[in-house]
Amino acid sequence: MLTNDAQLVYRADNHVGTFHNEPSTAVNCMTIIRSKILQSLFKPGYCYSSQACYLAEATLTMIVQAMLFGWKGATIFQAGPSKAMNWYGTNGTGSHGAAGPRVGDGDAMCGNAVMYDATAGKILVIGGSIDYQNANATANAHIVTIGPPMSAAAVQTISPMSYPRIFANAVVLPTGAVFISGGQNYGIPFSDNGSQLQPEMWDPVSTTFTKLAPQAIPRNYHSIGLLLPDATILSAGGGLCGACATNHYDGQIYSPSYLFTPNGSRATRPVIESAPAQVSVGGTLTATTNAPVTAWAMLRLGATTHTVNTDQRRIPLNATANGTTYTMTLPADPGVLIPGYYYLFAMNAAVPSLAKFVSVPVP
Ligand SMILES: [Cu+2]
């Protein structure tokens, strides 16, 4: 989803063996699709030059399971999985620019990328492998910070995850922490060998990972992780490969520690008593709560498959309080506040409310 009523669509041959260091044939097509011709992307073949605008296919490799983020100025930032990061412009006939390497990292096939603070252009990139399968996963962790479109991204290597992971899921929480679950230490689709059963939580302030209570069921290839409107996380699926032995037709709910007091009882959650159903890019959002709160955030609803969930993003909001009425100015760039549906959370310290659903229409 982009900001100018268009979608960037990429097509790449998938599930055909190694993609590491393949030449540009790994990318068959990057196309800007306007809404009226959306159906064309499902046809076999390549780009449709008569209907859509070509983007530079350039010399891209490793764009299967692409880490693509809509951004300012109708651009898309590609954080991975290739070590080389890229920009794509969607105005006119499209454009391509290098964004520099993820210094300190290798290719991160089937790793995770999470925009945990869109207002600051912050993306956490973790794990992955040099190959789609039959290779060791890494525990690498980097903070990639983007600013002006087409400029080099800043890359910070941080302490690695506790475990190497490929095919894991990563979910940003209202606080900006990132929950990471599942994956394998060695990538084998449709296998539970080397399952990482212990999730971990990344803290954006300390930039470190903390191990959490183990899961009972492996969550590997084809598994999902999604934030729910009560600020818990659904960790589900895996396998889903016909009659094979590693199908997991079930799910688990993880309740983060912010829902509990130090003695283990349930924390008292703030309540959003009123909030608008729809807000505008660059507009204001006024909401009321049942008691004073200390922070607000909008989290875009995720959609995930094959470890990729670049629909999710977190927009922290600064609020001006008048009693328990809070007024927030929303980001003015639709590349930051990407149109769509969001959870709105109020937090008292780190304890989140239940979410209210807020939609952001295309400006
Ligand atoms: Cu698949």
Q: Is the pLDDT of residue 26 over 80?
A: no
What's the CA-to-centroid distance between 222 and ligand 1, angstroms?
A: 6
Question: Please, what sign has the CA dihedral across residues 35, 36, 41, 46?
Answer: negative
Catalytic one of 10, 116, 132, 221: 221
What's the CA-to-centroid distance between 4 and ligand 1, angstroms?
A: 30
What's the CA-to-centroid distance between 265 and ligand 1, angstroms?
A: 40
What's the CA-to-centroid distance between 38 and ligand 1, angstroms?
A: 22
Contact 15, 190 (CB under 8 A): no
Rounded Cα distance between 352 and 270, Å, is 7
Hey, is 38 helix, strand or coil?
Answer: helix
How would DSSP label each residue in 337-353?
S-SEEEEEEEEETTEE-
**pLDDT-derived band of residue 117, with 50, 70 and 90 as boundaries?**
very high
Composition of the chain by helix, strand, coil, percent to 5: 5, 40, 55
What's the CA-to-centroid distance between 306 and ligand 1, angstroms?
A: 6
Rounded Cα distance between 143 and 205, Å, is 12
Hey, is 41 helix, strand or coil?
Answer: helix
* Model pTM score: 0.88
- Cβ atoms < 10 Å from Cβ of 96: 17
pLDDT for the residue 8: 53
What's the CA-to-centroid distance between 190 and ligand 1, angstroms?
A: 9
Contact 65, 221 (CB under 8 A): no
Beta bridge partners of 172: 178
Does the 272-360 domain belong in CATH 2.40.50.140? Answer: no
Q: What is the pLDDT of residues 87-112, one digit of tens each?
A: 888 777 677 788 999 999 988 999 99
Q: Is the pLDDT of residue 16 over 50?
A: no
Rounded Cα distance between 99 and 60, Å, is 12
221 is catalytic: yes
Contact 336, 328 (CB under 8 A): no
What average pLDDT does range 159-179 have in this prediction? Answer: 98
Q: What is the pLDDT of residues 216-275, one digit of tens each?
A: 999 999 999 999 999 999 999 999 888 888 999 999 999 999 999 999 999 999 999 999
Hey, is 248 helix, strand or coil?
Answer: coil
What's the CA-to-centroid distance between 158 and ligand 1, angstroms?
A: 30
Q: What is the pLDDT of residues 58-85, one digit of tens each?
A: 333 445 688 989 999 989 899 998 888 9
**pLDDT-derived band of residue 32, with 50, 70 and 90 as boundaries?**
very low
How far does the chain reach from its first CA to its final CA, in angstroms? 13
Instruction: Domain ranges for the chain, please list them.
Output: 272-360
